[in-house]
A and B are shown apart, each in its own frame.
Chain A
Amino acid sequence: MSPNMVNKVYQQHSNALPGPDDITREVLSNGMIVLSRSNFNSPTLSIKGYLHSGSLCDPDEKLGLSYLTAHGLMTGTEEHDLQSLYNEIESVGAQLGFSSGTLTTSFSAHCLSEDLELILGLIAESLRKPTFPEKEFNRQKNQVLTALAIRAQDTSAMAALLFDQMIYHDHPFERPEEGFVNTVQMLERDDLVDFYHRTYGPNQMVISIVGALEPARAVESVRSVFEDWQNKNQETLPEVPEMLPLQKTSQKSISIPGKFQADIVMGSLGPHRLSPDYQALRLGNNILGEFGMMGRLGESVREKRGLAYYAYSSLSATKGPGAWEMIAGVNPANTKKTIRLIREDIKKFVSEPVTAQELEDTKSYFLGRMPLSLESNSGVAISLLNLEHFDLGLNYFLDYPQQIQAISAEEILHASQKYLDPDRLAIAVAGP
């Protein structure tokens, strides 16, 4: 079937895709944004959201502060201690958790729709009235320290960390949100309290509720627990600096003795999410290391030579410089050979346009995937948050096929050449 045909089918089912007719968007008087969409297929809800606080605000010597603050929200509030809070949630089979990234602190919950008010109430309570009990703080700090000890043994996590340090040298994105052992050890309970008061607040906070409910109920429920929340002291997140691309290829390794497999992460900076190159690069990345059995990389490293169980590429784009990574897990004896193969693939990829067949296939893939990614409530809830976070507009899903169809092989080539250069790569390896 041709992409045109796929396009037609896509249009026929476009009523299943979120659009301005069925997404409710409401801005509360305190600056909070509520998004909602109904889906009565199962009696469940997905509730997700974020606010503008993150590890970008962490001082270097206290990296991990934002992470521990987010994880500390549910350890005690003015109304519940940890056990009674989780008892409310677990007794109804619901789930609620907070986490922190570089630019946002987010939450995610799912529950039966009959429990909306309960769970929303607990989200509001955790965000508005956390007490950060000392005893829970100490326990949590120890849990993070153990997680960091486990991370130090994880070849894929360590290769990824090293890669970030290479492409984002001296840029805030080189720092892992969870911090390092020495920075987490520096943290005191009062740091969390201070961080909370400085960076948490409702201004431009977004909440998305999708599932078996009328959007009006979603908006009213959010209003009743959040609209009187204010924080006049809430700081604005610092601007994300730009980053210059690498000038030459460099390779670094971390030795983790006793391991059986080495992990390779190589690549370079990627685009900003709102870059005009983004969609072309997304298609290009799919051809390079995703499509079918991990694209061209899967074909050359796994299928043709049997060197690895996984060899793929990944493009991550956010606000600020993104990353374009090629990833493989190999026997340590094959590390050099695999790096050489991936480099050859990159070289070819930026030297000649993708074939007409590849282009057609990848377009079909992205058009066909949309209904699948929007199948579950959580899939829709995430998509709504992305629309808001990147200001994509409520028509995004409806306009999407045209955007994808318009991309040419030359555009992919030119965009890729801007970011990927086989002579300017960061290569990170972690293994025995």
Chain B
Amino acid sequence: MTRSTHYYKLPNGLTVHLKEIHTAPIISNWMWYRVGSRNEIPGITGISHWVEHMQFKGTEKFPAGYLDREVSRFGGVLNAMTHLDWTTYFETLPAHVFEIGLEAEADRMMKSPFNKREVNRERTVIISEREGNENEPLFLLGEAIQMAAFSEHPYRYEVIGLKEDLKTMTRDDLYQHYQRYYQPGNAVLSIAGDFDITSMMEKIENNFSEIPPDVEFQTAIPEDPPLEVEKRVTVSGPGETSYVQIGYRAPSASNRDFFTLTVLDSLLTGPSSLNMFGSGGTSNKTSRLYRALVESEISVSCHGSLQATKDPYLYSIYLTVHPEHTPEEVLKAVDDEISYVLDSPVAQKEIERAVKQAKALFAYSSENISNQAFWLGYTEMFDTYDWFENYIDHLSEITPEDVLDVARSYLNPDNRVVGFYIPEQG
């Protein structure tokens, strides 16, 4: 992963990040915008995700279906995702035809019409997407936890948005959101694959240089005060299985504590893969919570999730409750393990093990070109690419005292929301 990258800005403010990789005749092209549920307010929750859907409805130059069809015609892959801090669009294509994606991204940055009829047709598709999510107990629980964990910050809402907002948002709301955030200065173009940087820069210049620079706007994201006391939420629904989710308020990705919390997560619930594509990951049967809860049959499974975000978000632990136990018993067993971490420093050897695991997970990510292009842009959404390049070094510097300090700062009950999913048939 140490190949050099090329990073620059166009005069209109578009950030470009390129990396040549000549292992396969493929290019992966990603267009990132700094907009996600973080930029939403009550009444328009879910709007960033809906805008993303509308970006597939075509423009004057490239009508609806054009991009899907062209990319598919060459066996390529395309998709888009909206998250807390960002929205991204990607196309991975055979190298000789990759410009299809580049042209379409340049075009739809500012030229999507947001036709009213299309907006209304998409409304039911998105409500259907939400209803699919609502079928999942962990979605319902997660939504309740986010809402309890934040009172001001937009991380309070799920990316898909509240159903009532999805029913009432208008075409003009969507178009306004699009115009505001889809501008070159708010975007990052990241490309990796089989090209040479000089000719790629020319192609980017040809496609993007005529897009006008940003109209300035200000976004004030409200901050949330610390939680101060533990909160509890209970969600009930169909099924016979109970779930526990514990969400601790976590540091932002650029905070040094984030790396330490990564190590702590690795010890507690097993190393998480940072890759969003391709292979990666390992099992977590030697992690502390697995041993304490799953081996002793208090829970059936456990895992952790720490996400790299721009503002402080959540570190969550998820547990499926064993049918012969209760959520309260699961919570108590987790707390016993956490108090052990709070009382005694972890061994240096355990930290070294977490670093070795992270290194292996990094090596897997270099197998896949799409994944490498992803990293070139993703890190820009919450920090800079240095974050990625220095990741292993940061982990290697962590001491047992750091782990103890961070555990004491973040993993205390006053800093968390505990959620139980209680089945109605249970």
B-binding residues in A (CB < 8 A) = 1, 6, 9, 13, 16, 41-44, 46, 82-83, 86-87, 89-97, 110-112, 139, 142-143, 145-147, 149-150, 152-155, 256-261, 291-293, 299, 302-310, 329-331, 361, 364-372, 374-378
Contact = CB atoms under 8 A, between A and B. Distances in A.
Contacts of B229: none
B304 interface: no
A8 to B, nearest CB: 10
Interface in B202-251: 237-241
Nearest to B369: A375
A261 B135 contact: yes
Contact of B129 (A83, A90, A309): A309
Contact of A365 (B75, B126, B129, B368): B75
A329 B285 contact: no
25 contacts: A9-B94, A13-B25, A41-B366, A44-B363, A44-B367, A82-B285, A90-B357, A91-B286, A93-B356, A258-B424, A291-B72, A292-B72, A299-B65, A306-B120, A306-B125, A306-B128, A307-B125, A310-B132, A361-B72, A364-B73, A364-B74, A365-B75, A368-B74, A372-B77, A372-B94
Nearest to A10: B94
A372 B360 contact: no
Interface stretch (B5-13, B30-38, B294-302, B329-337): B294-302
Nearest to B237: A258
Nearest to B371: A376
Contacts of A377: 279, 367
Given A260-B135, A365-B73, A372-B77, A146 B323 contact: yes
A6 B65 CA distance: 21
Contacts of B238: 153, 256-259
Given A90-B270, A329-B128, A375-B24, A111 B360 contact: yes
Contacts of B361: 93
Given A112-B363, A375-B368, A365 B285 contact: no
B124 interface: yes
Interface in B258-281: 270-271, 278-279, 281
A319 to B, nearest CB: 27
A143 B300 CA distance: 6
A310 to B, nearest CB: 8
Nearest to B426: A149
B122 interface: yes
A372 B279 contact: no
Given A83-B291, A368-B94, A372-B77, A145 B363 contact: no
A331 B368 CA distance: 37
B239 A150 contact: yes
A94 B360 contact: yes
A177 B98 CA distance: 42
A384 B297 CA distance: 39
Contact of B356 (A92, A369, A376): A92
A96 B285 CA distance: 12
Contacts of A365: 72-75
Nearest to A145: B323
Given A292-B68, A367-B75, A368-B73, A376 B367 contact: yes
Contact of A371 (B24, B126, B270, B322): B24
Contact of A93 (B75, B125, B240, B357): B357
B80 to A, nearest CB: 12
A257 B25 CA distance: 50
A95 B364 CA distance: 11
A3 B224 CA distance: 56
Interface in B341-363: 353, 356-361, 363
A108 to B, nearest CB: 9
B320 A89 contact: no
Given A83-B285, A361-B69, 19 more contacts: A44-B366, A86-B286, A89-B282, A91-B356, A93-B361, A149-B241, A153-B137, A153-B238, A256-B238, A259-B238, A292-B69, A293-B56, A306-B124, A368-B73, A368-B97, A372-B76, A375-B26, A375-B368, A378-B279
A112 B128 contact: no
A370 B77 CA distance: 12
A42 B125 contact: no
Contacts of B284: 90
Given A111-B360, A372-B76, A143 B301 contact: yes
Given A42-B367, A368-B75, A90 B283 contact: yes
A202 B388 CA distance: 44
B128 A41 contact: no
Contacts of B286: 83, 86-87, 90-91
A308 B125 contact: yes
Nearest to A302: B125
Contact of A142 (B74, B271, B323, B364): B323
A46 B278 CA distance: 12
Interface string B106-136: 0000000000000011111111110110110
